[in-house]
Structure 1
């Protein structure tokens, strides 16, 4: 029984470490994107036509999207693992489920913001632009906002696991 508990603790620690590492990497990539995004001085205008070269933020944005997606999936797996390993079958898991739902909501908003901003940092050819032949630049703070949403998603997922584990411990303490 003790060996099984240690194995569960190791899996939990390993999953949490991977989840936190990927979320922090995604946040870091968002910060780098904010620094490397296309600037107004890079925009070239020829009459009504515009040209914007691809910035480094495009690659970093893709990396941020990949890290946050894998982190969100790993975090949800961690939540499921916490729920299954607690032997806690009650309707009191609603707070943990709401926190996980908040995590997914902030993740989806982050994906939309980062994906759109990243596609705007791709090369915008003369006469093609980003949409309808018009060149667009990403506003200041979009990537930082996406990074904040990554941190909110990570915190919500970790809190949902914490709620599950603590509710389980409280039930086991009352039973003893």
Structure 2
């Protein structure tokens, strides 16, 4: 009978799952009769060596996705919808805005409308800038509830803008 060197405790710890699976395997061999061979140590040397120092180049240039241009009719319609929904949402916090509620809505609606007219070209083109611009503009004008209004605007846009774009374009003849 051939004898094998006894494995160290570190090997038992590092191979715990292997030993457990061996002990519970179909052979039902008791642990005391299983002998583990010494495993070679893992080298820190790289397996492959890159002999060429040239950068790899793609054979084809990747195609760049071009987003559609903003649609003025959609922008106008969506800006009106945004204004109505923001008014309804902020009216719930009338005590925060006081007499400045309409001014807050005007600032947010104007910035959002400009974004829709100039930048928004469908799903994937919603940017955070118009909402940070709302926050900054409201603070510069010293209007109350700037963070609340900017956040409500952003949440509304995230929830409805891309969906409304898809609906708008599914109705349009191609």
Q: TM-score, normalised by structure 1?
A: 0.26
The structure that is helix-richer by fraction is 1
Q: TM-score, normalised by structure 2?
A: 0.27
